[in-house]
Amino acid sequence: MKKYMKKMYPHNKKRNYIIKVFYGAKVERHESSKLRRFLYYTRLIPWQIKDLKVYLKVIYGKQEDWSGKLVTFYNDGIFKNKKDFKLALNAFLEE
Whether residue 95 has pLDDT greater than 70: no
Cβ neighbour number for residue 46 with a 10 Å cutoff: 9
CA-closest candidate to residue 12, choices 65, 56, 72? 72
Look at residue 69 and give its three-state secondary structure.
coil
Q: Is the pTM of this model over 0.85?
A: no
Cβ neighbour number for residue 17 with a 10 Å cutoff: 22
Q: Which residues contact 22 (CB under 8 A, 6 or more apart)?
A: 52, 53, 54, 55
Number of domains in the chain: 1
pLDDT value for 93: 87
pLDDT tens across 33-84, in order? 999 999 999 999 999 988 999 999 999 888 888 888 888 889 999 999 999 9
Domain coverage including residue 74: 3-93
